[in-house]
Amino acid sequence: MSSPSIGIVGSETLLGKELRESLRVCSLKPAIQLIGADDEESGKVLLEEEEATMITPLDERNLASADIVMLAGSRESSRKAWSLLEQRNDTPVIDLTRSLEDIGSARLTAPMAGTGSPGSGGPLLIAHPAAIALALFLPRLAPHQPRRIVADIFEPASEYGQPAIDELHQQTMKLFAFQTLPKAVFDTQIAYAMLPRYGADSLHSLAQAELTIERHLASLLASTASPMPSLRLSQAPVFHGYSMSIWVEFDAAVTVEELSADFFVENVEMRGEDEEVPTNVGSAGQQGIAVGDVRADRNNPRAFWFWLTADNLKLSVDNAIQVAETIWVD
């Protein structure tokens, strides 16, 4: 089978860089075309495995020359790319930015969570990585009949791209120097702080992100026996990777050993008491999710606490590549 040409819109973003690295080692062995998310990227030359690759302009000709287009740039570039491609039914569009969610023909997908064939038609929207992580975790509990679930999700700065990473880094450094903190992204101090919401003038909203996770998770769990959890999203002062503290109450008593036995499946790593506890740092670059530190609730004999971590960028990218593999094989 021939290899496809995959165009990446936004190849220099955090998602774009993760895509470039992962596509180079995936089974498709695609020819990778770098398409600028913004005008200033066009013409820039990147070194890809000792080969020079130029970032081409975001226009209809460059988009149409790709067999599959993946969106990893800004909302504006994603919307522009779709406006140039929406009349072309022969170019699949995979949106990792969730910028096309309001398009009527958009379809949510996450192959790791068992969403099935992506089909054809409108843009294919990769589910929010936190929703994918929970959709990998929650169905494992179904045999033990969970009654109530509460998930505290801790957001990393990388979920909002390089500007958010840079602001967290700069704030951390300037705090030590007793200098004014940059707040262009979060409009508040994020360094060394846990946040339930951002400043009023922030570019982003934890409340909106929480709603997105909840909406996507409900779709991913629709065909499972798992109940929807109550969610709370907070900003953690970390650069990369999700951490989640999840409380589950079951209908009947169950043991840690019985619970753990159901987690030895693909894309889920269960760590026992004698193994290192999963961390967001340790999950960097790792596929799927890691679960550990399973402990009984001392005040409820039918409830347990779980600790879950995942690489947010890799979850999005791995699911996007699986969608591309399905499209190309079909």
* HEC sequence for 176-194: HCCCCCCCCCCCCCCCCCC
pLDDT digit string, tens, across residues 54-89: 888 898 888 989 999 999 999 999 999 999 988 776
pLDDT digit string, tens, across residues 173-213: 999 999 999 999 999 999 999 999 999 999 999 999 999 99
Per-residue b/e over 54-66, b at no fewer than 16 CB within 10 Å? ebbebeeebbeeb
| pLDDT value of position 265 | 86
For the chain, give the number of residues: 330
> Starting at the edge strand that comes first in sequence, how are the strands of the sheet with 31-35 ordered?
31-35, 5-9, 68-71, 93-95, 124-126, 107-109
Cα 262 versus chain centre, distance: 24
Cβ distance 124 to 92 under 8 Å?
A: yes
* Neighbouring residues of 176: CB distance < 8 A, sequence distance ≥ 6: none
Confidence label for 37 from pLDDT (cuts 50, 70 and 90): confident
Q: What is the set of domains in the chain, with CATH numbers?
A: 5-126+316-329 (3.40.50.720), 132-312 (3.30.360.10)
Angle formed at CA 44 by CA 129 and CA 77, multiple of 5 degrees: 40
Q: What are phi and psi of 295, to 5 degrees?
A: -140, 145
